[in-house]
Amino acid sequence: MNTQTRTTHSLNDLIAIVRDGEHFYTEAARKVDNVELSALFTRIAGVKQNIARDLSAVVTSAGGEPATHGTVVGTMQEFYGKVRAALGDKQYGYVAELEESEDRLLKAFTEAASDNDVPATAREAVTRLLPEVRECHNVMRERKHAMKNAA
């Protein structure tokens, strides 16, 4: 597999997971009643959109075609989040599932950043964006714990 193909493959996997999160945050922002939580979800959806755009630019510059869709796992997780929110505390249900989504993304980014089989240009992009991924993860983890402790 040549460098272009490995770069495209590695980053497209991440782009798909990021798109899952972007879509799920956008959906959750429309569904929750809490204005502050809706604003937070909208802000994080924007961060996801920027990450996907940045990774897509690297794929394009390597001569590849960036992913335009999410993953099956992400679709199932979003569906589960909607069901969980409908059956219980809607705000907490979305926060908990979005935090799980962040866990998945952080794990994928961390693995890609340390994988020597990922081409250097792709690893550099992942490493550059990792602080934003980590920050979104931490925000949602802290929000989930705060809501759980308040209940």
Helices and strands in the chain, H and E counts: 5, 0
For residues 62-88, average pLDDT: 66
Flag whether pLDDT at 87 surpasses 60: no
The H or E element spanning position 79 is: helix 72-87
Query: For the chain, which domains are there?
Result: 3-150 (1.20.1260.10)
pLDDT tier, 53 (very low <50, low <70, confident <90, very high otherwise): very high
pTM for the model stands at: 0.88
Task: Report the distance separating Cα 127 and Cα 123, nearest Å.
Answer: 6
Residue 26: per-residue pLDDT: 94
Q: How many CB atoms lie within 10 A of CB 145?
A: 12
The secondary structure of 20-52 as a DSSP string is HHHHHHHHHHHH-S-HHHHHHHHHHHHHHHHHH
